[in-house]
Amino acid sequence: MCGIAGYLTAPGERPAPDPLEAMAASLAHRGPDGAGYYRDERVALAHRRLSIIDLSGGGQPLANEDGQIQIVFNGEIYNYREHRRELIRKGHQFRTHSDTEVLVHLYEEEGERLPELLNGMFAFALWDARRQALFLARDPLGKKPLYYASGVGPLEFCFASELKALTLVPGFSGAVDPEAVIDFLALGYVPDPHSIFRDVHKLPPGSSLTVGRSGMRLRRYWAPRFAPRRDRDVDGTIEEIRDLARDAVDRRMISDVPLGAFLSGGVDSSAVVGLMAEQAPGRVRTFSIGFTSKEYDELEYARLIAGRYRTEHHEQVVTPRIEEMFDKLVEHFDEPFADSSAVPTLYLARMTREHVTVALSGDGADEIFAGYRVYAYGAIESRLRDRLPGWFRRSVVRLAGEVYPKLDFLPRVFRAKALLRNISLEIADAHFHSRSNFTEAALARLVAPELRRQAADYSPLATMRRHFEEVSHLAPLEQMQAVDLETWLPGDILVKADRATMAYSLEGRSPWLDYRMAELAATLPGEFKVRGLTGKYIFKRAMANWVPDRLLWRPKMGFSVPMAEWMRSSLKPLVESLVLRPEMDPYVAPAEVRRLWEAHQSGLSDHSRPLWALLMLAAWDARWRGKALEPAAELMARAGPGR
């Protein structure tokens, strides 16, 4: 795993000062094992290396035989050995055993079809001097990040693995995108292809970008194609999933450095460990985080799997206070990011890196095979929606949802308000409200009037509706999954996994996000994925060989933290010093923020999700504007012990 950066200029021109070394240095955590640079009269490329494969010979930038092609690459290619054998057969000569060199020669053979032939996680930039073109690509599902901008200062074009590197380019404006701020407040992340800055974009998953003499050309080379096959039988599908699972895990165990696995005690990571144990020559190393609060602790289940497979197990029990991780969180995520499960993920990555350089995870199965509650409930809501007349839903059911008390303090089973509201809405609106921190009306009250004006009354809900319109030919379950694969997965889940692991120079690999697994899952009928309130049904059946029933069918816990309690204890001084300051007024209406804060402090309402989003926005803003902040640990200590 690595960090890449670079830029294009007009022929013969160079920015002064040249930002290339500074851009690379800002990515040192992604590649602590070395740095490399390439420059000619048109292009500059930088690479920071985390050595995983071919430790002595895989340095970058890497060129073909005549030096006309240069590449900087971040990620891993899991089918590089097959391509290497075929390229040697065709006469290509290799100087290294790295997967990176395969890309150079494969580009010589296939040109811009290159990313279509790769199984892996990747983001790369390839300079073709003969065509005077820079070719960039990102893996099918968006596991590895790639930011870019055009016309920044003296540069025609620039790119980097992380946003922080682009902010070092002379002339970077730093103009905040008001639509991105509104998206973030609604969703807790800034969805692709936008970034928090108006002039910077993310290369979308499964896409390539060519920058050449004729300008920029963006191409989508892969997207999931949902086409459920009614001829599928359960037993045959289970065997197909098992065969592919074995291969996906086996490919991700290729490494010249120590390798292990995250083990949460859930189905997905437990199955990965079971498959690794089946194929590994020695004991698998596993890593788990536990919490002093039993409500959030799954160590009992992780230990069960560790014992079953006799792994070399490492675990750490932490008091889930955020003091020591808050600054790390803000530093490494670059944009506002409000998925609070990033906190325990950082703890897990830190502990794991003390023992290994590569860790396999169970990420992706919930998205690919519909494991989240939102899919099961969404499918039920869609069936109820179809059985009720539209006028009845929009009047009687909607009114019932409005008057039904919002009993946040009761167990979920007693909270019918969201169900009634979602049935009264169309599927896009219901899914938005399930994923959002705010209703559309609440968001309108929160956003500062001037920001709304700058954004021309931009609506994240309208964007969600457009996503659903594009897949309206699909069944409701497939619609939700397809939209989440475009938004939630690359914008939230994969950002969290990448930034948290890379903060500690740890490479994370996700077998369930093999694009072949996604293509297989897209052919499954809905009842194969969701049955009643059980998600990932066929996946769980397939994993029964490796995961005991006690774990296989237990309710999903998630990687959670006690955010509601934090907001009333250890986080109070941080919120009061950052969120309630006048500098936030350009973003949000102070009266509405104060109302949310006081309602949460009363204990009668749980506004922890929106308040955490506001805190992340405030901390990002303060950091970006260079405000000298008191360390979070010192500030929080004034609140005394958290719960």
**Distance (Å, rounded) from C-alpha 7 to C-alpha 456?**
32
SS3 content of the chain, % helix, strand, coil (to 5): 45, 15, 40
Neighbours of 193 (CB within 10 A): 16
8 A C-beta contact, residue 126 and residue 212: no
Active site residue 158: no
- Burial zone of 531 (CB within 10 Å; 0-12 exposed, 13-18 middle, 19+ buried): middle
Which of 1, 2, 125, 622 is flagged as catalytic?
2
The DSSP secondary structure of 411-453, one letter per residue, reads -GGG--HHHHHHHHS-HHHHHHHHH-SS-HHHHHHHB-HHHHH
**Distance (Å, rounded) from C-alpha 400 to C-alpha 422?**
11
| Edge-to-edge order in the sheet of strand 312-318 | 312-318, 285-291, 259-262, 358-360, 507-509
8 A C-beta contact, residue 371 and residue 535: yes
What SS3 class is residue 45?
Answer: strand
Task: Using alpha carbons, list the distances in angstroms from residue 489 to 277, 396, 427, 492, 545.
Answer: 28, 35, 19, 6, 27
Number of continuous H segments (helices) and E segments (strands) in the chain: 31, 17
**Rg (the chain; Cα; Å):** 24
8 A C-beta contact, residue 538 and residue 529: yes
The torsion angle over the Cα atoms of residues 237, 240, 246 and 247, rounded to 10 degrees, is -140
Catalytic residues: 2
